[in-house]
Structure 1
Amino acid sequence: MPIGEICKREVVVAQRDDTVLQAAKLMRQHHVGDVLVVDDEGEGKRVPVGIVTDRDLVMEVIAPELDTNVITVGDIMVSDFASVKENTGVFESIQYMRVKGVRRLPVVDDNNMLIGIVTLDDLLGLLSEELDALVKLMAHEQQKEAGIRR
């Protein structure tokens, strides 16, 4: 299954010149741990250029007691971030996340335009559903076998 089929299409985004306070408010409002920094290409097309996580805010701005109204997401964003093409398989995406050591993976099309985002939490939910289906299959087979042998 391609990752593009399961990624969240509604992505919380910010512009490079948005303040980190604005980014933090977006994270709180949408109950997420990151914002993707994008360049707007018009017509709803956005190119991801960076990512800012809640941890980035704490480590780079809050702990050193910098002014959250002055520092921008462009100042602290990670521009060398991992992303994956929408046709990449789920398990290949999981392996890539593990190798890169990331919990969040922007999903892009062939032109590097933002399609969505997939997180560790999303993947754990998907895998737990799949494992649950396998457990139910095993239980069904055991019941079926027990009925035949009586």
Structure 2
Amino acid sequence: MAIGEFCNRDVVFATREMSLPEVAQLMREYHVGDLVVVDEVGGKRAPVGVVTDRDIVIEIIAKSLNLDEFSVGDIMAPQLVSVQETEGVFETIRLMRTKAIRRIPVLNSEGGLAGIVSADDILELLAEEMTELAKVAPRGQEREAKLRT
């Protein structure tokens, strides 16, 4: 299954220039722990990074720095890790594990932002699939019992 088939397409995003209080407000309003940072180029959103609530806490608050003196571009991860929407679930899991990340932006064929997927999203998908798989054996046994009577 391609990751683009079930990624969250309602992505809350920020720009590099946004202030940290603005970003924190967006996170609070939309109940998310991260925002994809985009550059708007020709009317399209090109992902350039991710900023998390943890970034704000570790990089600014824990150091007793003034939130108003920094923008998203100052604290976002310097290198974007992303996945194409055609990539498989297993390959996405492998990349997330290798890069030690819990959320990953999903890009369309033009490199634009298509969605985002989290480790929790993948766990939910796999749990549903395992539940369906667990139903196979009992049904097979029921079918076999009916054929023998």
TM-score bracket relative to the smaller structure: over 0.9
Which position in structure 2 is the counterpart of 1:62? 61
Which position in structure 2 is the counterpart of 1:122? 121
Partner SS for 2:68: coil
Q: Distance in 2 between matches of 1:79 and 1:10?
A: 24
- Once the 2 structures are TM-superposed, how far is the Cα of residue 139 of structure 1 from its aligned partner? 2.3
- Once the 2 structures are TM-superposed, how far is the Cα of residue 73 of structure 1 from its aligned partner? 0.6
Within a 5 Å distance, the mapping from 1:66-77 to structure 2 comes to 66-77=65-76
One-letter amino acid of the counterpart of residue 32, structure 1: V
Which position in structure 1 is the counterpart of 2:45? 46
Which position in structure 2 is the counterpart of 1:81? 80
Partner SS for 1:25: helix
Within a 5 Å distance, the mapping from 1:86-101 to structure 2 comes to 86-101=85-100
TM-score between both structures, scaled by the size of structure 2: 0.93
Which position in structure 1 is the counterpart of 2:3? 3
- Once the 2 structures are TM-superposed, how far is the Cα of residue 105 of structure 1 from its aligned partner? 0.8
- Once the 2 structures are TM-superposed, how far is the Cα of residue 87 of structure 1 from its aligned partner? 0.9
Q: Distance in 2 between matches of 1:91 and 1:133?
A: 18
Q: Distance in 2 between matches of 1:73 and 1:142?
A: 57
Q: Distance in 2 between matches of 1:35 and 1:13?
A: 5
One-letter amino acid of the counterpart of residue 31, structure 1: H
Q: Distance in 2 between matches of 1:141 and 1:31?
A: 43
One-letter amino acid of the counterpart of residue 142, structure 2: Q
2:138 maps to 1:139: yes
* Structure 2 unaligned residues grouped into runs of 5+: none
Which position in structure 2 is the counterpart of 1:24? 24
- Once the 2 structures are TM-superposed, how far is the Cα of residue 131 of structure 1 from its aligned partner? 0.3
In the TM superposition, structure 1's runs of 4+ consecutive aligned residues that sit over 3 Å from their partners are: 146-150
- Once the 2 structures are TM-superposed, how far is the Cα of residue 125 of structure 1 from its aligned partner? 0.5
One-letter amino acid of the counterpart of residue 112, structure 1: G
* Structure 1 unaligned residues grouped into runs of 5+: none
- Once the 2 structures are TM-superposed, how far is the Cα of residue 149 of structure 1 from its aligned partner? 4.2
Coordinate RMSD, CA, aligned: 1.4
Q: Distance in 1 between matches of 2:12 and 2:42?
A: 17
21-30 vs 113-122, which moves further: 21-30
**Fraction of identical pairs, as percent:** 50
Partner SS for 1:69: helix
